[in-house]
Amino acid sequence: MRRSRLPFAIAAVLAATTAPLAQAQQADKPATTTLDQVIVTGTHARDRTVLDSPVPIDVLTPEDLRAAGAVNGELGQALATLLPSFNFPRQSNSGGSDHVRAAQLRGMSPDQVLVLVNGKRFHTSALVNTDTKIGRGTTPVDFNAIPISAIKRIEILRDGAGAQYGSDAIAGVVNIILDDAPEGGEVDATYGAYHTHFRPGDRTITDGQSGYVSAKAGTKLGTDGFFRAGIEGNNREPTNRAGPDQIPSWENASPANLALQGKRNYAAGDPRNENYSGWFNSELGLGDTVRGYAFGTYTKRRTVGDNYFRYPDSDANVPSIYPEGYRPESLGYNTDINLTAGARGRVGEWDIDGSLTWGRNTFDYDLRDSLNVSLGEASLTHFDVGKYENSQGTANLDLTRTVGLGSQLFTLATGAEFRHEGFETFAGDPASYAVGPIVGAPTGAQAGGGLTPQDTANLHRNVAATYIDFSGDVTERFFADAAARYEHYNDFGGAWTGKLSGRYAFNDAIALRGAVSNNLRAPSLSQIGFESTSTGYGADGELVQGRVLSVNNPIARGLGATDLKAEKSRNISLGLTARAGDHFDASLDIFRTDVDHRVTLSETIAPDGLEDLIAARFGVPGVQSIAFFTNAVDTRTRGAELVTNYRQPAYGGNLVLTATYSYDRTSIRKVRDTPEALAALGADAVLFGLEERNTLTDAAPRQRGSFTARWDHPRWSLLGRATRQGATTRVFDFGDGFVPRQTYGARWQIDAEAEWHATERLSIALGGQNITDQYPNRSIPDIAYAGNFPYDVISPIGTNGAYWYGRLRYAW
């Protein structure tokens, strides 16, 4: 109860203290301020700033991203450092999720966040996250596919915005504005590594060495146009925080296996990463009233992920190939491209913007140091296990004009959008899924198994939408915005969404804002049609051959799967903003988001008798577990977010103090019954059970907060940041009532950086993240997997320890 009242206590304190603050320090003004930054996200009005917005919006600059220590070019990690409401969990031994990390906003699912680039919808990744914890069953946007050096600023709208931007905007919108400087350039080079004392092995480790370099420049086009472009590359070595192996009790206690006791046979940490990116942004006058524009991004990335160790004397090994056992590695080849071209101009009273956007993500998935046990000594050790491709083409037409009603001017915006989406998967090589001559042996490549021809999908759909938005100052103190949108899917039909938002200024210092909206998110094509076959270890350590089935698969239908419905949400938010001159500003927002028919991947269903039932009824042998997508649950997420900034000239420079806090809690409102066909298989056949409840409710931190102090001087810049990473909870259901559970307590993370401006153009920085070398709580024996995984990846503090880096930057 005390936690739930905390946001309201903060509101009372804030309201009581802002009145005197409004009168303080009016005469003194720091040299620079971002209080009056005009925003373009969440409104069509041209004069809205961060504090004037009727919904909460954060604005991040390149300086903020550098100060976040985004030394590896990871945009997602920089956002997680700067925004307490943004979670970007790391993964390890999680299949494809080792290669594409999924982000959360406000504790919602990764696919409930819409990402824009220059206001245009960005496509999602192709890879379906089926083996991860956070974001299981989603196909999220790959934030790290957007070059961080390309960014002029980022605007993060923390509120439902489906009526303004369409599907996927349940939790909010991230709008990435590209660099548009017509002159000058910049070269940036960074190198760093983890240096940590690893307590489970009682030794000091230096690993994860990473190098990052970027270069960009711009030139004028014509009299008022520009072309700006850049490239960047980074290379990161892997980390490993696996503990000494105590040999799992379910493995064969043979001499060959026991000889490995005490050694580090597993790997647990960040994958090896090699990434190259390019981008451009341009604009050119095509006449007196028309301007053409084009921009695009391109990323090519190779990553190497880890998988569970296979012991020498086990059903998963062919001893003549791997006499000392083996640990398969997954290889991800990720190619991402996004291009937009359009024109904007004025026709009569209307400002018109028309554009075409095309994006595609391709993910090729390989395994090495693996084998197909059923093929015996004839097995390969390197497999192509499949390919995933996602594409999206969008046509937009937006019209905006000013309308006078009485003495007030309002902004009227309307427009239409057409979107074509495609999702396709391709089978792996035959050896990756082959059923060989060794009777009773596991089939398919270990640690994945290839997509079979019957697994492949080729789905397409069209989405058409039209919207209208009317906003303006109703009175001198009251701003209102009303939006409505009709969106039609050729596979889900049509639906209306709407949003009402407003801001009332009590005076120049204090204002109240709020919004109410409903939103729609249709299941992604991957959630409708994705299928896969795999051989790997279940949570209980047993080797399992399983399948993820589409809801249209006869096996899934026979066990109770039904057509997926679209998610429908209702969002309510209420906030208070305060400002005391140019020195202090604060905002507190509380919110609630209800989601009906939430799309999730079911539990991994593996009751006794499932394999025999599927073989007898459907003629498909060897399937020991299944999972399929479902609308099994309705959720409610409630939370509060506090942001405060204080700016003051100090010691010849400018001091900025920022304190932020985020709280969100997801509860389960309704769970649909397990279908009768599944329930008949026994108590272990549960559609939505303990593990998936844990995924949605408390596997991600409910609370995060940070305090940052930054001092900028013509010669020096100093940064200190203290972040409190909230608690997380892991629950496993191993069956037969064995349900280990552990809560990983909150941790404080300390970051620091000092930058010396050697000349007007050259600067040198040294910094560290998590400089006190903090780790999560040690996992209990029932979760630590025989000591191999001493730390759990769900804690935001991470499992790598302290990171140190240096940066060289030259700008002209």
Question: What is the spatial distance between Cα 570 and Cα 520, in angstroms, rounded to a whole number?
Answer: 9
253 in helix, strand or coil?
A: coil
Please list the residues that pair with 516 across neighbouring strands: 500, 572
The 10 Å Cβ neighbour count of residue 563 is 12
The encoded tokens of residue 771 equal 């400089």
Smallest CA-to-CA distance from 661 within 34, 85, 69 is with 85
Domain region containing 597: 2-249+293-492+501-811
Q: First-to-last CA distance in the chain? A: 55
Q: Cα(794)–Cα(613) distance, rounded to whole angstroms?
A: 36
Q: Are 198 and 205 in contact (CB under 8 A)?
A: yes
Q: β-strand 625-650 against 716-725: which pairing, if any?
A: unpaired
Query: What DSSP assignment string belongs to 503-555?
Result: EEESSSSEEEEEEEEEEEEPPPHHHHH--EEEEEE-TTS-EEEEEEE-TTSHH
Q: Report the pLDDT value the prediction gives residue 26, as an integer from 0 to 100.
A: 34
Count of domains observed in the chain: 1
Q: Which two tokens stand for residue 153?
A: 């600023």
Q: Is residue 47 part of a domain?
A: yes
Looking at residue 34, what is its pLDDT? 53
- Type of residue found at 291: R
Is position 258 within any domain?
no
Assess if residue 106 is contained within a domain.
yes
Q: What is the mean pLDDT of each run of 10 residues along the chain (812 residues)?
A: 39 37 35 61 78 92 82 84 90 88 92 96 93 88 95 95 93 96 96 96 94 97 95 96 95 96 96 96 93 98 96 96 97 98 95 98 97 96 97 98 91 97 97 91 90 94 97 95 96 94 96 96 95 72 80 93 95 96 94 96 90 90 90 96 96 96 96 91 87 94 96 96 96 89 97 96 96 97 95 93 96 96
| Beta strands per DSSP E along 252-407 | 272-285, 290-306, 329-347, 350-368, 382-405
Q: In the structure encoding, which two tokens stand for residue 208, read together?
A: 């994860």
Asked whether residue 269 is domain-assigned, the answer is no
Which pair of structure tokens corresponds to residue 383?
A: 């497999």
Amino acid 423 reads F
The token duo for 1 is 């109860």
Name the amino acid, one letter, at 446.
Q
- CATH code for the domain in which residue 151 is found: 2.40.170.20
Q: Compute CA distances 606 → 66, 524, 536, 740, whole Å.
A: 47, 26, 13, 18
Question: CA-CA distances (angstroms) from residue 701 to 11, 134, 569, 729, 747?
Answer: 22, 11, 22, 8, 11
Q: Is residue 112 part of a domain?
A: yes
Q: How far apart are CA 174 and CA 334, in angstroms?
A: 22
CB contact burial 141-175 (16+ within 10 A = b; e otherwise): bbbbbbbbbbbebbbbbbbbbbbbbbbbbbbbbbb
Residue 279 is assigned to a structural domain of this protein: no
162 lies in some domain: yes
> CA 207 to CA 272: how far, in whole Å?
11
The pLDDT score that the predictor gives to residue 537 is: 64
The reported pLDDT for the residue numbered 51 is 85
